Amino acid sequence: MRFISESPKERIPCYRVLDDNGQPILGHNFVQVSKEVAVKMYTDMVTLRSMDTIFYEAQRQGRISFYVTAIGEEAINVASAAALAMDDVVFPQYREAGVLLWRGFTLQEFANQLFSNIYDYGKGRQMPAHYGSKKHNYFTVASTIATQISHAVGAAYSLKMDKKDACAVTYFGDGGSSEGDFHAALNFAAVLEAPVIFICRNNGWAISTPISDQFRSDGVVVKGQAYGVRSIRVDGNDALAIYSAIQAARQMAITEERPILIEALTYRVGHHTTSDDSTKYRPANEIEWWRVARDPVVRFRKWIEKHGWWNDMAESELINNLRQQLLHTIQEAEGVEKPPLADSFSDVYDVAPSNLREQEQWLKEIVRKQPQEYPTNISV
φ/ψ of 211, rounded to 5, equals -65, -25
CA-CA distance, 28 to 122, in Å (whole number)?
A: 44
CA 374 remoteness from chain centre: 32
State the amino acid at position 356 in one-letter form: L
- Catalytic-role residue among 233, 268, 294, 299: 268
- Catalytic-role residue among 281, 307, 323, 357: 281
Q: Is 121 designated active site?
A: no
CA-CA distance, 252 to 91, in Å (whole number)?
A: 19
CA-CA distance, 202 to 214, in Å (whole number)?
A: 12
CA-CA distance, 331 to 327, in Å (whole number)?
A: 6
H-type alpha helices, the chain: 35-60, 74-83, 97-102, 107-114, 147-161, 180-192, 221-226, 239-255, 284-293, 296-306, 312-335, 354-369
CA 212 remoteness from chain centre: 23
- Catalytic-role residue among 130, 201, 272, 299: 272
H-type alpha helices, 92-238: 97-102, 107-114, 147-161, 180-192, 221-226
- Mention every residue, 6+ apart, whose C-beta is less than 8 A from residue 262: 197, 198, 199, 200, 231, 232, 233, 234, 245, 246, 249
Q: Is 291 designated active site?
A: no
CA-CA distance, 161 to 121, in Å (whole number)?
A: 30
Q: Is 268 designated active site?
A: yes
For residue 323, the tally of other CB atoms under 10 A from its CB is: 13
The residues assigned a catalytic role are 268, 272, 281
